[in-house]
Amino acid sequence: MIGYGPYHYRYPSGREGDASLIALSSRKASISLYVMCTDDGAYLTERYVDRLPKASIGKSCVRFRRTSDLDLDVLRELLAEAGRLGPPDAV
């Protein structure tokens, strides 16, 4: 997995660890782009469901088979917004 923007997190429960703001991973069935970013308590990727219709989008993950399935301008916008917002609060 390739990651960018390392940060340390700590939940109110006391659990803590290290993660990357953005990470890319090649899986057997798809490519996974993890965007660990929230805005107003909601995961950022969930706002892009309608704009990336060929991708499977979870709370913090965008899964796709090939880059031709994505609108790369929308993907750039998502990544730029994540960079501006920074690491999430504990969610």
Q: Does the residue 91 lie in any domain? A: no
Domain residues for the domain of 25 are 2-85
Spell 25-49 as b/e; 16+ CB within 10 A means b.
eeeeebbbbbbbbbeeeebbbeebe
Structure-token pair, residue 75? 């993907």
Q: Does the residue 30 lie in any domain? A: yes
pLDDT tens sequence across 56-84: 999 999 999 999 999 999 999 999 999 99
Q: Does the residue 78 lie in any domain? A: yes
Domains contained in the chain, number: 1
Taken in order 67, 77, 44, 35, is the CA torsion positive or negative?
positive
Q: What is the mean pLDDT of residues 24-34?
A: 94
Q: Does the residue 76 lie in any domain? A: yes
Q: Does the residue 90 lie in any domain? A: no
Q: Does the residue 39 lie in any domain? A: yes
- What is the reported pLDDT for 26? 95
Mean pLDDT of the chain, nearest integer? 91
- What is the reported pLDDT for 86? 85
Question: Is the pLDDT assigned to residue 88 strictly greater than 90?
Answer: no
> What is the model's pTM?
0.86
